[in-house]
Structure 1
């Protein structure tokens, strides 16, 4: 009986009220702390650091209340050692204050890696091996052989390169592939792709990237990264087959109207093919 009276007493109700008030205050403090810790609502646009020295990039990021760490280094003889060659997130991305950017800088000298064995592998296997080992895919050439896309031999600077050779990391490697009895392939649809996406799609379609042309909307390195394909030649056409190793030229823009028009025309073309 006493316990029942206690639970209905004024003292118990006051204790319950105090407990609820403390709980509400603790939740409020937690939410405020989380907003402060995560910088909720504080958004910054990532600056373009391409071509800056690491010192210039550091100073720029400090003024923007961002931080950085060096993620990787590659060698490009066109730039001074320590020059920023790539960044993640890319310029223009919206991030919170104190976000860490990962930079790729130019090395003092090229790092050398042992070249993998590509001969008698399929093109897809060779592609993965080259990318995994830090190389770039150069030109695809086709020669007489009964097996389509079989790697006959790789080339570096125009000469055959053998497995085990020490080669500069990031080097561009050409591949000579078997022609087989392939009677041609369809050009990939590149409309709306960035330059890097288009290049990868072209290579994986057994072709080569040809001329790259930017329109007047491209005025900086940042623009070139953000630009997308609005025109290509040869164009995507299910009825047209071109030989493996052929070149595909691309035109890039940041003009959204031009991109929308190109996409609409592409969709119309596809609809005509289907119906």
Structure 2
């Protein structure tokens, strides 16, 4: 009976009320602390660091209350050592204060790697092998041979290169391939692809990248990375067969209306071809 009377007493109700208020205060303090710790609600736009020296980039990030770490280094002879060549997140991304940016900077000297043996491999095998070893695909050339897309020999800076040679990582390698009896290729559909995606698709279609044009919506390096193809020549829909190794010109933009119109026209032309 005494226990029942205690639970009904004013003292017990007061204690319950105090405990409830303490719990609310603790929850409020916790939420405030989490918001402060995670910088909840803060929004900062990542600056464009491309082409800056590492020192200038560090000062810029410090002024924006951001931090960085060096993720990788590559060699580009067009820039001074220590120049920022890439960043993640990209410029324009929205992040919170104290966010860590990963920078790729220009190395003082190119890293050299041993060139793999790609002769007598199929083009697709050679492509994967070269990309895995850190090389880029340059120009595709075709010569008389009974086997289509068989690698006859690779070239670097215009000269034939032998397997085992030490050359700069990231170098562009031209490939001379067998012509076979191929009667021509149709241009791939590049509408809506980024520059890097379009280039890869063109190369894997056994063609070469021709002229590249950016419109007025492209203002800096990172705009060019995010830009997408809105026009190509030859077109995907004209069913024109071209010899392997032919060039495809592309035009890129960040204008969403231009991209929507290009996609709409593409769908219309595809419908006309089907029906």
Over 3 Å counting, the alpha-carbon distance change for 1:33 and 1:247 in structure 2 is: same
Shift of 1:139: 1.0
Shift of 1:115: 1.5
Shift of 1:263: 1.7
Over 3 Å counting, the alpha-carbon distance change for 1:28 and 1:206 in structure 2 is: farther
Over 3 Å counting, the alpha-carbon distance change for 1:185 and 1:29 in structure 2 is: farther
Shift of 1:233: 0.4
5 Å matches for 1:1-275?
7-237=7-237, 239-275=239-275
CA offsets per residue over residues 11-58 of structure 1, 9 Å max, x none?
A: 554444444433333333332222222222211111111111111111
Q: Extract structure 1 runs of 4+ deviating beyond 6 A.
A: none
Which moved further from structure 2: 234-243 or 203-212? 234-243
Over 3 Å counting, the alpha-carbon distance change for 1:243 and 1:28 in structure 2 is: farther
TM-score normalised over the length of structure 1: 0.90
TM-score normalised over the length of structure 2: 0.90
Shift of 1:138: 0.7
Over 3 Å counting, the alpha-carbon distance change for 1:178 and 1:21 in structure 2 is: farther
**Using the alignment, how far apart are the partners of 1:12 and 1:148 within structure 2?**
90
CA offsets per residue over residues 65-88 of structure 1, 9 Å max, x none?
A: 111111111111111111111111
- Partner of 1:237: helix, strand, or coil? helix
**Using the alignment, how far apart are the partners of 2:11 and 2:205 within structure 1?**
79
Shift of 1:215: 2.4
CA RMSD in angstroms comes to 2.2
**Using the alignment, how far apart are the partners of 2:195 and 2:240 within structure 1?**
23
Which moved further from structure 2: 207-216 or 13-22? 13-22
Aligned residues: 275
Over 3 Å counting, the alpha-carbon distance change for 1:59 and 1:182 in structure 2 is: same
5+ residue gaps, structure 2? none
